[in-house]
Amino acid sequence: MAFIVEDGTKVAGANSYVPVAYADAYFSQYSNAIWAALLTADKQAALITATQSVDLLYGQRYKSMPASSTQSLLWPRFVVIINRIQIVQSGTIPAQLMNAVSEVALMANQGINVFPVPNTDAQLKQQRNQVGTLVQDSVWGHTPKVEKFAGFNKIDLILYPLLNESDMPASLAL
């Protein structure tokens, strides 16, 4: 498969948000010898897989809308405001997305499943109220505060500015 990087111009057939040189520079900041030791072809394959993973796991929650209905990937988007003050212009791929894809590429290369099943465990809570002889029992479920995808907490934190707060698709959360 050809390695085709989306640079924000809606590149036909794009399958990665991250050029190898960007991921190399990103990981060199942290002296990551594992990434540095990989062959270029392995890095490209991991970046393609990571791009697909991030789009599938987080794509419905990306802020804004895709810039075109014919683009290969979910970015670029229309203008997005993140961190309440920072504007991500249409026609760009944000650093947060490229950093998250780089991290997932490293996970993929290390054999970690980058297409995990979401954590949907619910916990039951019970409450009993009694006043005199009057008794009311209540049982309800709630989703615990745990990462949605096991092992993806760092990815959640990196992507946080680019995501809508709810699990509602971006098209409905405008």
**Inside any domain, residue 45:** yes
pLDDT value at position 121? 65
pLDDT of residue 140: 67
Q: What is the mean pLDDT of residues 110-131?
A: 83
Instruction: Report the pLDDT value the prediction gives residue 132, as an integer from 0 to 100.
Output: 87
The mean pLDDT of 42-57, rounded to a whole number, is: 98
SS3 (DSSP) at 142:
strand
pLDDT at 23: 98
Whether residue 6 is contained in a domain is answered as: no
E strands present in 71-145: 80-82, 86-88, 123-131, 134-142
In a domain, 4, yes or no: no
Rounded to whole angstroms, the Cα distance separating 91 from 107 reads: 28
Q: Cα–Cα distance between 20 and 11 in angstroms, integer?
A: 17
**pLDDT for 108:** 97
Q: Does a structural domain hold residue 37? A: yes
pLDDT in tens, 143-152: 656 678 888 9
How much is the pLDDT for 173? 46
Residue-wise pLDDT for 4-32, tens only, equals: 999 999 999 999 999 999 999 999 999 99
The token duo for 5 is 């990087």
Q: What per-residue confidence (pLDDT) applies to 156?
A: 94
Domain-located, residue 33: yes
**Cβ atoms 61, 163 nearer than 8 A:** yes
Domain assignment of residue 131, yes or no: no
Whether 91 is covered by a domain: the verdict is: yes
Q: Give the chain's domain count.
A: 1
Domain assignment of residue 102, given as a range: 20-119+148-172
Looking at the predicted structure, is the pLDDT value of residue 34 above 80? yes
Is residue 140 in some structural domain?
no
Residue 65, classed as helix, strand or coil, is: coil
User: Which of the four pLDDT bands, split at 50, 70 and 90, describes residue 174?
Assistant: very low
DSSP H stretches of helix in the chain: 20-28, 33-36, 40-58, 95-109, 153-159
**Full-model pTM:** 0.82
d(CA 41, CA 58): 26
* Tokens coding 46: 């991991």
